[in-house]
Amino acid sequence: MNDVQRIEPRTLKGFRDHLPETMIPREWLIETARRVYRSYGFAPIDTPALEYLEILTGKGGEETDKQLYKFEDHGGRWVGMRFDLTVPLARFAAQHVGKLGTPLKAYHIATVWRGENTQRGRYREFMQCDFDTLGTLAITADVETVLVIHDLFEALRIPGFTIRVNNRQVLNGLLDHFDLADKSVAILRALDKLDKIGADKVAAEMHQTAGATADQAGRVLQLAELHGSNQEILAALDRLVAGNEKGQAGVAKLAEMLSAVVAAGVDEGRVRISPSITRGLDYYTGTVFETFLDDLPGIGSVCSGGRYDNLAELYSKQELPGIGASLGLDRLLAALEELGMVEKVQTPAPVFLAYFDVSRLHDYLRLATAIRAAGIGVEFYPEPKKLGAQLKYADRRGFRVAVVAGENEWAQDQCQLKDLASGQSTTVPLDDAPGTIAELLKASPA
Amino acid sequence: MNDVQRIEPRTLKGFRDHLPETMIPREWLIETARRVYRSYGFAPIDTPALEYLEILTGKGGEETDKQLYKFEDHGGRWVGMRFDLTVPLARFAAQHVGKLGTPLKAYHIATVWRGENTQRGRYREFMQCDFDTLGTLAITADVETVLVIHDLFEALRIPGFTIRVNNRQVLNGLLDHFDLADKSVAILRALDKLDKIGADKVAAEMHQTAGATADQAGRVLQLAELHGSNQEILAALDRLVAGNEKGQAGVAKLAEMLSAVVAAGVDEGRVRISPSITRGLDYYTGTVFETFLDDLPGIGSVCSGGRYDNLAELYSKQELPGIGASLGLDRLLAALEELGMVEKVQTPAPVFLAYFDVSRLHDYLRLATAIRAAGIGVEFYPEPKKLGAQLKYADRRGFRVAVVAGENEWAQDQCQLKDLASGQSTTVPLDDAPGTIAELLKASPA
């Protein structure tokens, strides 16, 4: 290789490698999401990373088009890399719903790409974990969506989280009252920014983009000030929408959903009616929700979604109402790290088996097999180096138990088990090793 | 939407959607691979889908370059989509091995793209599941690689599979004998095609590309005719390489590996020394292996790999020897389907809960929560349609047990459990439902 010029190993700006330390919690998060989605009957689907460009640009705004990775392929087709999972789901549903039938409950965990400005710490490649129920208007689907989010955050052992719910029909009913019905899209898009930019700037935007007067903007912003229990907020909303059919229907749905969610076993404190939540996107028409971590509200919603009337209208005549949500995997991971809830280990196997008596290779291998047969992962060090160096390696990688057996131990059919956190060692018969390791691991869960 | 032209929903040529029916076995396969890799201490890594073009083209041949999806990004950088996981691993290792240290045991399960000719049923987007041990020359790593493959196919419950192993050093030692040492790359590449094109064409290729005489080609091809037990083949190889140091070392390594693998608990019939296996790629230098399904040998190897001396030489001065293997996920899935080993279900939840007494919504939700709390997935039908239609849906989706509760059942705190395979029903108290469902599912495993 002396005659060949080396290429500098580097990743593209906005892209990153995932090392074991970040991949292990990432896989745990994905596996947990999958387990919860599946427990409700959501089935996995996947779509190609590349789509015809017209499929992707059909629905996106200008901002999305600019961020799109697009090119001409070998066959002269203009193609693009998917920038979210909603557009591919819409295309997928239009194409396959005839075969698959409804209700179509699907989850989709996949990578998306956006050539975004990386200055704000954003990445150009990230993963989304969506789940959707298509083909039904029934409120049971809305209820289940909230239940899935609840179960997911419980399964992730997150002590404090709040699911904030609202219904766009309530908002639209109120806008009727305030003579803003025809400007609802612009008004709701502005209101959605309340947490980020504050009431004054929202009012200014409502004036600029929707021509709302100061009085009108003020009345909309009152919504954000409603407080009290869910029942009190519902009562207040009921009074506000009095006489408006759409608004009343929206309040009734919120109440119905809330009571059903509680009946299913959710602590009422977990779900909070928040009348100012709109989700900016135009296609939401009913229930909308966001999920916040109580100890880190500043990072924003980590799981959001809502109900739409017609997902696939760009690709199909068939009306496909539904409801869906998206877990912000990378944002949630960053939050869990900040909260100290992610253990830094570099190995997915808890047990380390040192290797230093070369004449006993077969015995080491047999012992490793026995430990694995007990359902416990074990890494066998490949080279007979000094024990100290091997244990240092084991410590650095984050193993929890080291198994040590040398001439003396082998001669007596024994091995040493070393708890790497406490440093304590215990010698056990080989046959008891798997069972004792299992107990050690149970006593000090990761 | 009447004024907007619809876009035809379609996927690009060579790309495909994965519907639940294919995604469910796919996820099962990936999860199983992950579990086995982890049980040996292999840790997950991931790399970006896009890399600097120079990283990707540095090592590829002309054929690869032609297949590469490449374009200029928004920042004027030439980029490409990864076409395998070996090049990204090499770049990753060069960049991070200083921080991560060795041995570096990593698995990488990810999508790759190749603009291949689609006529032979090939796809342009597919998934690879690689695992590698980097930074060690120790034979224990070779042994473990075979053990991982063995455990993986056992975990997949594949009744008949054979891991065929060889060592390039044996081959190179033999080529010395036959005066073909300086033409080994071309000779081994030709020999690798033996199964596909037959002895005559291999001999012809050896003549054309390496100038081998008919006699020389014949002597190389004798290798393929060695038969008998592993011990007999080893003895025959030993005789053939007599006097050649490299060849003898290769035979000794094969013997050592085989006995270690058997010591670790592998049935010797699972591993077969196959002297004609070379793996075509130039960078393999030691152990090489392929895995065949006994009932479907014609599809070729479903898990292959080998030892290399220096993975990252294009990107780093540091020598990184290692050994790795790649599971051919899509090929294996196709094979399992052909063997009837993949059940066609469209739901990952085994239980279906019908919904028809609207006044009891909260009771249905409570029952569903209780079933899930027992670790059993259950889909709740969202709309109170006729029971017949709901059961038809449950049947079509592949649920195994349907739970039915109407006015009568609710009044008596009972529900009906219907085994959808046998059609038999049984009525149980609500409190017993989760336990009885668990028993029903155990009695007729999927």
Q: Is a pLDDT exceeding 50 seen at residue B192?
A: yes
pTM, 2 dp: 0.94
B324 touches B131 (CB < 8 A): yes
Whether residue A45 and residue B8 make contact (CB cut-off 8 A), yes or no, is no
Q: CA-to-CA distance for B127 and B42, rounded, in angstroms? A: 19
State the count of interchain CB pairs (< 8 A) between A and B. Answer: 302
Q: Do A49 and B111 touch (CB under 8 A)?
A: yes
Structure confidence at residue A46 as a pLDDT band (50, 70, 90): very high
Q: Looking at residue A423, what is its pLDDT?
A: 92
Whether B314 contacts A4, CB under 8 Å: yes
Subunit contact B52:A12, Cβ cutoff 8 A: yes
| Distance, C-alpha A159 to centroid of its chain | 16
The DSSP symbol for B315 reads T
> Residue A152 above 80 pLDDT?
yes
Cβ–Cβ gap A48/B16 under 8 Å: yes
Select from A423, A342, A417, A340 the least CA-distant residue to A376. A417
| Chain B environment of A103 (Cβ under 8 Å) | 381-383
In angstroms, the separation between the Cα of residue B57 and the nearest Cα of chain A is 10
Query: Whole-angstrom Cα distance, residue B41 to residue B44?
Result: 10
- Contact between A73 and B365 using a beta-carbon 8 Å cutoff: no
Tell me if A40 and B349 make a contact (CB, 8 A cut-off): yes
Q: Do A4 and B380 touch (CB under 8 A)?
A: no
User: How many CA atoms, within 13 angstroms, populate the side-chain half-sphere of residue A326?
Assistant: 17
CB of B107 within 8 Å of any CB in chain A? no
Summarize pLDDT for B413-444 with one digit per residue, the tens: 999 999 999 999 999 999 999 999 999 999 87
Has residue A183 got a pLDDT over 90?
no
B441 touches A: beta carbon within 8 Å: no
What is the percent of chain B with per-residue pLDDT over 90, rounded to a whole number?
72
Helix (H) or strand (E) holding B324: strand B322-327
- The pairing of strands B351-353 and B401-404 is parallel
CB contact under 8 A, B377 and A314: no
Query: Which pLDDT band holds residue B63 (cuts at 50, 70, 90)?
Result: low
Q: What is the pLDDT of residue B112?
A: 96
DSSP string for B74-134: TTS-EEEE-S-SHHHHHHHHHHHHHHH-SSEEEEEEEEEE-----TTS--SEEEEEEEEEE
Q: What is the DSSP letter of A269?
A: G
Which residue, among B400, B406, B360, has the nearest Cα to B386 in the 3D structure? Answer: B406
Q: What backbone torsions phi and psi does residue A191 show, to the nearest 5 degrees?
A: -60, -35
* Band of pLDDT at residue A175, cut at 50, 70 and 90: confident
Chain segment B129-185, per-residue pLDDT in tens: 999 999 999 999 999 999 999 999 999 999 899 999 999 999 888 888 888 888 888
Look at residue A387 and tell me whether its pLDDT is greater than 90: yes
Q: Would you put residue A76 in left (φ > 0), alpha (ψ -120 to 50) or beta?
A: left
Q: Which A residues, 173 through 232, put their C-beta within 8 Å of a C-beta on chain B?
A: none
pLDDT in tens, B284-320: 899 999 999 999 988 889 999 999 988 888 999 989 9
**What is the model's pLDDT at position B1?**
46
| Interfacial B residues in 341-400 facing A (CB < 8 Å) | 346-349, 352, 355, 361-362, 365-366, 368-369, 372, 376-383, 393, 396
Tens digits of residue pLDDT in A85-101: 999 999 999 999 999 99
Q: What is the pLDDT of residues A101-146, one digit of tens each?
A: 999 999 999 999 999 887 777 899 999 999 999 999 999 999 999 9
Give the nearest partner residue to A382 out of B18, B34, B136, using CB atoms: B136
- If you average pLDDT over each of A173-177, A426-430, B283-287, which comes out highest? A426-430
CA distances from A197 to A139, A189, A192, A303 (A): 33, 12, 10, 20
Q: Tell me which architecture the domain covering B351-443 has in CATH.
A: 3-Layer(aba) Sandwich (3.40)
Q: What is the pLDDT of residues A331-345, one digit of tens each?
A: 999 999 999 988 888
Between CA B150 and CA B128 the distance in angstroms is 18
B60–A contact, CB cutoff 8 A: no
CA distance A174 to chain B (A): 26
Choices 3.40.50.11900, 3.30.930.10, 3.40.720.10, 3.30.9.10: CATH for B20-338: 3.30.930.10
Contact state of B41 with A10 under an 8 Å Cβ cutoff:
no
Across the interface, whether the CB atoms of A9 and B260 are under 8 A apart is answered no
Q: Is the pLDDT of residue B59 over 60?
A: no
* Contact in structure between A171 and A284 (CB atoms under 8 Å): no
The predicted model gives B361-383 an average pLDDT of: 98
Reference A91, options A248, A321, A315, A273; nearest CA is A315
| Residue numbers of A between 151 and 170 with CB closer than 8 Å to B | 151
**Chain-centroid distance, C-alpha A416:** 41
Q: In terms of Cα–Cα distance, which of B312, B324, B323 is closest to B93?
A: B312
Band of pLDDT at residue A3, cut at 50, 70 and 90: low
* Residues of chain A neighbouring B28 (CB-CB closer than 8 A): none
Contacts for A407 with CB less than 8 Å, ≥ 6 apart: A357, A360
Per-residue confidence band for A157, with pLDDT thresholds at 50, 70 and 90: very high
The residue of A132, A380, A397 whose CB has the most chain B CBs within 10 angstroms, and thus the best one to mutate to test that interface, is A380
Yes or no, beta carbons of A259 and B362 under 8 Å apart? yes
| DSSP element (H, E) containing B437 | helix B433-443
Cα dihedral angle (B190, B191, B193, B199), rounded to 10 degrees? 100
pLDDT tens per residue across span A258-284: 999 999 999 999 999 998 888 866 778
A5 shares contact with chain B (CB less than 8 Å): no
Which residues from B are below 8 Å from A74, CB to CB?
Answer: 115
**What chain A residue is nearest to B54 in terms of C-alpha separation?**
A7
Give the angle subtended at the CA of A141 by the CAs of A140 and A146, to the nearest 5°: 95
| CA angle at A320 for the pair A132 and B384, rounded to the nearest 5° | 80
Which of A99, A383, A403 is best to mutate for the B interface (most B CBs within 10 A)? Answer: A383
B65 touches chain A (CB under 8 A): no
CA B220, CA B174: separation in Å to the nearest integer?
A: 8
- The answer to whether B150 contacts chain A (CB < 8 Å) is no
How far is it, in rounded angstroms, from Cα B224 to Cα B194?
Answer: 9
List strands edge to edge, sheet with A378-380: A378-380, A351-353, A401-404, A414-419, A425-429
Dihedral, CA atoms, A152, A153, A155, A159, nearest 10 degrees? -170
pLDDT number for residue B159: 86
Q: Does B48 touch chain A (CB under 8 A)?
A: yes
User: Residue B61: its pLDDT value, please?
Assistant: 60
pLDDT of residue A60: 56
**Mean of the pLDDT values across residues A138-166?**
96
Q: Could you tell me the pLDDT band of residue A4, with boundaries at 50, 70 and 90? A: low
**Residue B377 to residue A49, Cβ atoms within 8 A:** no
Chain B residue numbers with beta carbons less than 8 Å from the beta carbon of A73 are 12, 69, 115
The overall average pLDDT reported for chain A is 92
Give the model's pLDDT for residue A223: 82
| Average pLDDT for chain B | 92
Whether residue B274 contacts residue B292, with contact meaning beta carbons closer than 8 Å, is answered with no
pLDDT-based confidence at residue B5 (cuts at 50, 70, 90): confident
Q: Do domains A20-338 and A351-443 have the same CATH topology?
A: no
Which segments of A24-98 are extended strands (E)?
A: 43-44, 50-52, 70-72, 78-81
∠ CA A407-B38-A422, rounded to 5°? 55
pLDDT value for A91: 96
Indicate the domain borders of chain A. 20-338, 351-443
DSSP B6: P
Does the CB of A410 have a partner CB in chain B at under 8 Å?
Answer: no
Contact indicator for B403, B397 with CB cutoff of 8 Å: no
Q: Tell me whether A248 touches chain B (CB under 8 Å).
A: no
| Start-end of H helices in A225-380 | 230-240, 245-263, 329-338, 361-373
Per the rule left: phi > 0, alpha: psi between -120 and 50, beta: everything else, A50 is beta
Q: What average pLDDT does the segment B260-269 reach? A: 96
In terms of average pLDDT, the best of A38-52, A241-255, B177-191, B225-239 is A38-52
Predicted confidence (pLDDT) per residue in A55-79, tens digit: 998 755 666 677 899 999 989 999 9
Query: Cβ of A263 and B366 within 8 Å?
Result: yes
- Nearest chain A Cα to B323, which residue? A382
Each residue's pLDDT tens digit, A201-255: 989 999 999 888 888 888 888 887 888 999 999 999 999 999 899 999 999 999 9
Backbone angles phi, psi at A288, to 5 degrees: -135, 150
Percent of chain B residues topping a pLDDT of 70: 96
Pairwise CB contact (< 8 Å): A380 & B41:
yes
Q: Give the model's confidence band at A446: pLDDT under 50 very low, under 70 low, under 90 confident, else very high.
A: low
Predicted confidence at residue A89, as pLDDT, reads 97
B101 contacts A6? CB cut-off 8 A: no
